[in-house]
Amino acid sequence: MYQTSVTAIAENIFPITINRPEKLNALNQMVIAELGEAIEEVYQNPAIRAAIITGSGNKAFVAGADISGFTGLSKEQGSRMAKEGLDVFFKIENAPKAIVAAVNGFALGGGCELAMACHFRLCSDTAQFGQPEVNLGLIPGYGGTQRLTKLIGKGRALEAMMTGNLINASVALQYGLVNYITKPEDLIEKTRVILKQIIGKAPLAIAHSIAAANAALENEKGYQLETALFGECFATEDMKEGTAAFLEKRKPVFKGS
């Protein structure tokens, strides 16, 4: 049914597997649109009681937004692209049923943001998290500046965003970014075990728990500022240089303009 993800309901659990392994499951417009449709299915289909989001292959959960799609975008188009992803991620965060990320490798940029939009996260011992947008002359645009700060605290979040350094699985556990680390082959089963427990509880109580916990952390203004500033980056020479350097597989030379 979807071109960029694989889904099949089993025991009331809907696994959504982002499926572009040759591009490390990078999020292009089609992935974002289809992810939105899959999440709508979670909302609408009574046979679905919980969902798992994971990545195809053994290397990446999602290695970020698709950098090749950034070329030539204006700051308005950059902001619009961010908003489209952000809206889907809000839909995940506000879903009335548990949506959990099973992070099976790189969760970078939009991948880390996708994992953070989920209600909680498990990861394999090979997982690596990060917001390396700074290497591209960019900032996170799918809610990362907000959710990473809330999840791990401002100091750790700003260090990650300003250095672009990656966070390995054991540090992610220590930071509270993930709840469990498993061996790669046990990741989905462990996630299913927790989801089966949740499915056994009262559905409305689950929905209300999610809504109330989300209300504790609401900050509309922060997300709006992130979207605007993400767009601003698209008007800079440094962003053009950073994304071109990634696509040309070379080091960027930033000039501060």
Of 24, 52, 123, 139, which one interacts with ligand COA (CB under 6 A)? 24
What's the min distance (Å) between Cβ of 130 and ligand COA? 8
Q: Residue 219 Cβ, how far from ligand COA at the closest point, in Å? A: 22
The single residue of 34, 93, 133, 226 carrying the catalytic annotation is 133
Task: Give the residue with the Cβ less far from ligand COA, 64 or 195.
Answer: 64
Give the total of residues touching ligand COA (CB under 6 A): 17
Smallest distance, ligand COA to C-beta of residue 116, A: 14
User: What beta strand segments (E) does the chain contain?
Assistant: 5-7, 13-18, 50-55, 60-62, 98-103, 106-108, 120-124, 128-130, 167-168, 180-182
Q: Is 133 a catalytic residue?
A: yes
Q: How far does CA 152 lie from the centroid of its chain?
A: 15
CB 214 within 8 A of CB 119: no
Does 64 contact ligand COA by CB under 6 A? yes
Report the residue number, 55 or 110, with the smaller CB distance to ligand COA.
Answer: 110
Return d(Cα 177, Cα 167) in angstroms, integer: 10
Contact pattern for ligand COA over residues 175 through 214, marking x by CB under 6 A: ----------------------------------------
State which residue, 51 or 107, has the beta carbon closest to ligand COA.
107
With beta carbons less than 8 A apart as the criterion, state whether 109 and 132 touch: yes
144-152 and 154-163 helices cross at what angle (nearest 10)?
130
- And the tokens for 32? 């974002």
- Smallest gap from Cβ 107 to ligand COA, in A, equals 10
Between the CA of residue 248 and those of 66, 67, 138, 245, what are the distances in Å?
14, 11, 17, 5
Interaction residues for ligand COA, span 102-161 (CB under 6 A): 106, 108-110, 132-133, 135-136
From 2-10, 22-30, 171-179, 188-196, span contacting ligand COA (CB under 6 A): 22-30
Q: Print the binding letters for residues 207-246 with ligand COA: x by CB under 6 A, - otherwise.
A: ----------------------------------------
Is-contact 54 17, C-beta < 8 A? yes
* H runs (alpha helix) in 66-140: 75-93, 110-117
Residues 74-93 that bind ligand COA (CB under 6 A): none
Cα–Cα distance for residue pair 149/178, rounded to 1 Å: 14
Q: Tell me whether residue 159 is one of the annotated catalytic residues.
A: no
How many whole angstroms separate alpha carbon 148 and alpha carbon 115? 10
| Binding positions for ligand COA, rule: CB under 6 A | 23-24, 26, 63-68, 106, 108-110, 132-133, 135-136
Question: What are the catalytic residues?
Answer: 113, 133
